Amino acid sequence: MKAFFKKLLAGITLGVALLTGSTAMAAGLMTPVDSSKPALSIKSHHVNVTIEDGYAITEVTQTFSNPNNEDLEALYSFPVPEKGTVSEFTVWIDGKPVTGEVLEKKKAKKLYEEEKAAGRDAGLTEKKKHYRFEVRVSPVRANSETKIRLVYMQVADIDSSMGRYVYPLEEGDTDDQAKAFWSYDPVVKEDFSFNLKLRSSYPVNGVRLPKHSQAVISNTSANEWQVNLASSVASGNMAEEGSSSAQPQVQTKTAAMTLDKDILVYWRLAPNLPGSIDLVTHREAGKKRGTFMMTLTPGDDLAKITEGRDWAFVLDMSGSMSGKYQTLVDGVQRALKHLNPEDRFQIVLFDDGVEDLTQTWVNATPENVKVWSDKLATTGPRGGTNLYAGLNAGLKKLDADRTGAIILVTDGEANLGITEKKQFLKLMSGYDVRLFTAVMGNGSNRPLLEAMAKVSNGFAVSVSNSDDISGKLMEFTSKVSHQAMHDVKLKISGIKVADITPAKIGSLYRGEQLVVFGHYWGDGEADVSLNVKISGQDKSYKSRFAFPKSETSYPEIERLWAYAKIQDLKEQIDYLGSDADFKNAIIDLAVENGLVTDYTSMIVMRDEQFAAHGIERKNKKRIEKEQQAKQQRAQAPVTSHRVDTQQPAFTTHRPSFGGGGGGAFNPLMYMPLVLLVLYRRKKILK
């Protein structure tokens, strides 16, 4: 089964990649809102990333030059990072940094327009759709420079002992107007740097950048690593702990950096690490309530799945597949050849409507595979994308008496028929199936696919054009080829806890971590148990450890909790439809914790204007507290957050790839938006 999945994924995604040569759109650009004006040039672009156990903080500072003889309003855009939210937006006004405050979206936009009309310096950060943040700055002074800084936070969990960080630069939007708007030269004219500091309480024995061979990788210990991308390295781009290539290299300037390719960093934990529970907390002295982030990394108790099954191929044949449809066909043909003789298959095509090619289940004999492969080759792309109709047809194909799976391949979002997210979730809830999806590209509808995966107790794996595709295949196939933990429930007793998120956990697949945020009151020993079902059998993992009375080293945990809680509230909106109470709760959380969301924006004005409008500088104070804590952590040794050492919750090692993820298939760097979705009946996974 594992070999089949590998060949299927490689055949479809790699083949499509080979037939498409469209250059990725660049992000991180600042362009005039009036597109008739000459573009602003990027004078400098500096990225500083700190990854500590459980989360990453990314700070981006850019300086732009306005070559025009007049002041103008400019727009800066970048893709939404996975699990990431903007927590700081700063504009240099009169040579001094001014930090933004988060307000309800309409109020922030109104204030920005008022400041712009008055000719005063202002900036606005908004979230646009699911794939892009946009920053407006006015005025960008004539023949002068503008400097801005953005900071965003995100959870940085580990999967199968492999960490992964992506600095997204490939613009996610795909409409023609946006392509024209973002067609300016995305070259940093003078100075570029990407510096990443990795501090891990678990030993790391390798760091890799698949698409940036010029990176310098160094380490002072197995727990502290650095990556620098402002220099060239003759010795390659993978450093092993303890090897000569892990030592600092002589740094020399490279050619101008083009911001059109995601920067992706992997780090690999040492093998044979135990399963564990880690706890990071924040609680100021004298405060009754604390915030925690608990990370559970199960040992590997999960066996492989070996029985045969039914396969329903649901293929997008809409007009947008022109130029790549034949390669999709070729990938499916090769996948069919690797089915077992006891397997069965069906083929369903969709564009504006649905075409049932095989009509019924077909035994996967060599003769049948050839007949239907030849018939599939006679079809061609046309029409729009009625994704709902295609998905619904595939779901109806599953036989209740057999193990079944659906493989859906499409290159775009739904644009015909039912397109509302709520309806897709309702459809998924009506079937006893699981969704497994590889979410490919910064412009993909990640919120829809991840929500569908969650409601079906499946999983979503993100893939960048800069990923090692072989490593991602290993990650994907190791999950679908093994049993999983289902009906997962976490119980904490002994101290008071509340506001736990995610509210519903669902399932855990091989190599996955469970990251839980919440609030706690009191301190001292607590009993923690993780209760799951594996192949229908109940299993419990237990431990006992203390929650501290005070801890001020990790104030960022408050924002990360708020972001996770906001995601839970958004899911409620997805399931139940728009609700004013949920929306107001999101706004309140975002304003209190300084987060840019669908309903809030971050406004920068002169300090006296904040005072004039009676806007409290909550975010400014929070940023100062976080920066101070970050500096103190940087000067201290790496701290272990494992709390179950006295009473280990897991008795076996955490799963690991045991290698660097394999070599990269370079043609994948041109891969378009391709979504592979796999369904399987629930009963065979319990």
91-117 pLDDT, tens digit per residue, is: 999 889 999 999 999 999 999 999 999
The band of 444, judged by pLDDT with boundaries at 50, 70 and 90, is low
Element containing residue 406 per DSSP (H, E): strand 404-410
Residue 527, pLDDT above cutoff 90:
yes
Q: 642 burial class (0-12, 13-18, 19+ CB within 10 angstroms)?
A: middle
Residue ranges making up the domain that contains 387: 311-469+674-684
Q: State both tokens at 258.
A: 């083009």
The band of 278, judged by pLDDT with boundaries at 50, 70 and 90, is very high
Residue 674, pLDDT above cutoff 80:
no
Q: What confidence score (pLDDT) does residue 238 get? A: 44
Q: Are strands 459-463 and 537-547 parallel, antiparallel or unpaired?
A: unpaired
Residue 628 in any domain: the answer is no
DSSP three-state, residue 445: coil
The band of 662, judged by pLDDT with boundaries at 50, 70 and 90, is very low
Residue 353 in any domain: the answer is yes
Residue 643, pLDDT above cutoff 60:
yes
Q: What confidence score (pLDDT) does residue 16 get? A: 40
Neighbours of 56 (CB within 10 A): 23
Neighbours of 627 (CB within 10 A): 15
Residue 8 in any domain: the answer is no
Residue 454, pLDDT above cutoff 50:
yes
The band of 472, judged by pLDDT with boundaries at 50, 70 and 90, is low
pLDDT: is 672 or 65 the higher one? 65
DSSP three-state, residue 133: strand
In this structure, the answer to whether residues 192 and 321 fall within a common structural domain is: no
String of DSSP letters for 145-193: EEEEEEEEEEEE-EETTEEEEEE--B----SHHHHHHT-S--BEEEEEE
Residue 453 in any domain: the answer is yes
The band of 174, judged by pLDDT with boundaries at 50, 70 and 90, is very low
Q: What confidence score (pLDDT) does residue 471 get? A: 64
Neighbours of 541 (CB within 10 A): 22
In this structure, the answer to whether residues 328 and 242 fall within a common structural domain is: no
Dist. CA 307–CA 191, nearest whole Å = 56
Over range 245-263, report the average pLDDT: 52
Residues 6+ apart with CB under 8 A from 30: 40, 42, 62, 64, 74, 75, 76, 135, 137, 140, 146, 148
In this structure, the answer to whether residues 229 and 320 fall within a common structural domain is: no
Contact of 385 with 416, CB cutoff 8 Å: yes
Residue 287, pLDDT above cutoff 80:
yes
Least confident of 247-261, 337-351, 561-575: 247-261
Over range 432-461, report the average pLDDT: 68
In this structure, the answer to whether residues 196 and 83 fall within a common structural domain is: yes
Q: What confidence score (pLDDT) does residue 234 get? A: 37
In this structure, the answer to whether residues 264 and 330 fall within a common structural domain is: no
Over range 394-412, report the average pLDDT: 71
Residue 251 in any domain: the answer is yes
Report the CATH number that the domain containing residue 238 is assigned in CATH: 2.60.40
The band of 245, judged by pLDDT with boundaries at 50, 70 and 90, is very low
Q: Are strands 41-52 and 188-199 parallel, antiparallel or unpaired?
A: parallel
Domain boundary among 238, 269, 300: 269
Domain boundary among 269, 298, 329: 269
Using N-to-C axis directions, what is the helix angle for 618-635 and 556-576, rounded to 10°? 130
In this structure, the answer to whether residues 229 and 152 fall within a common structural domain is: yes
In this structure, the answer to whether residues 332 and 245 fall within a common structural domain is: no
Over range 566-581, report the average pLDDT: 77
| Four-residue CA torsion sign, 622, 625, 629, 630 | positive
Dist. CA 395–CA 398, nearest whole Å = 6
Q: What is the gyration radius of the CA atoms in the chain, in angstroms? A: 25
The band of 297, judged by pLDDT with boundaries at 50, 70 and 90, is very high
Residue 78, pLDDT above cutoff 50:
yes
In this structure, the answer to whether residues 352 and 441 fall within a common structural domain is: yes
Q: State both tokens at 641.
A: 């957050």
pLDDT: is 246 or 285 the higher one? 285
Which residue type is seen at 200? S
Burial 109-134 (b: 16+ CB within 10 A, else e): bebbeebbeeeebbbbbbbeebbbbe
Residue 250, pLDDT above cutoff 90:
no
Q: What confidence score (pLDDT) does residue 324 get? A: 63
CA atoms within 13 A on the CB side of 364: 20
Which residue type is seen at 146? T
- Percent above pLDDT 90 for the chain: 36
CA atoms within 13 A on the CB side of 29: 24
Q: Are strands 158-159 and 600-604 parallel, antiparallel or unpaired?
A: unpaired
Residue 95 in any domain: the answer is yes
Q: What confidence score (pLDDT) does residue 373 get? A: 87
In this structure, the answer to whether residues 235 and 319 fall within a common structural domain is: no
In this structure, the answer to whether residues 258 and 401 fall within a common structural domain is: no
DSSP three-state, residue 675: strand
Report the CATH number that the domain containing residue 426 is assigned in CATH: 3.40.50.410
How would you list the strands of the sheet with 496-501, edge to edge?
276-282, 289-297, 514-521, 496-501
Residue 657 in any domain: the answer is no
The band of 577, judged by pLDDT with boundaries at 50, 70 and 90, is low
Bridge partners, residue 234, by sequence? none
Dist. CA 58–CA 54, nearest whole Å = 14
Domain boundary among 269, 301, 322: 269
Nearest residue to 528 (alpha-carbon basis) of 640, 639, 641, 647: 647
Nearest residue to 294 (alpha-carbon basis) of 545, 113, 70, 661: 545
Q: What confidence score (pLDDT) does residue 189 get? A: 58
Least confident of 127-141, 180-194, 456-470: 180-194
Nearest residue to 48 (alpha-carbon basis) of 269, 263, 293, 268: 263
Bridge partners, residue 526, by sequence? 545
Residue 85 in any domain: the answer is yes
- What is the tally of structural domains in the chain? 2
Contact of 403 with 686, CB cutoff 8 Å: no
The band of 590, judged by pLDDT with boundaries at 50, 70 and 90, is very high
In this structure, the answer to whether residues 263 and 326 fall within a common structural domain is: no
In this structure, the answer to whether residues 260 and 373 fall within a common structural domain is: no
The band of 49, judged by pLDDT with boundaries at 50, 70 and 90, is very high
Q: State both tokens at 455.
A: 């409601």
The band of 461, judged by pLDDT with boundaries at 50, 70 and 90, is low
The band of 170, judged by pLDDT with boundaries at 50, 70 and 90, is low
Dist. CA 212–CA 266, nearest whole Å = 12
CA atoms within 13 A on the CB side of 62: 25
String of DSSP letters for 529-551: EEEEEETTEEEEEEEEEEEPS-B
Burial 323-359 (b: 16+ CB within 10 A, else e): ebbbbbbbbbbbbbebbeeebbbbbbbbbeebeebbe
Q: 303 burial class (0-12, 13-18, 19+ CB within 10 angstroms)?
A: exposed
Backbone angles phi, psi at 112, to 5 degrees: -60, -45
Q: What confidence score (pLDDT) does residue 64 get? A: 86
Q: What confidence score (pLDDT) does residue 56 get? A: 94
- Percent above pLDDT 70 for the chain: 74
Q: What confidence score (pLDDT) does residue 440 get? A: 55
Q: Indicate the average pLDDT of the chain.
A: 79
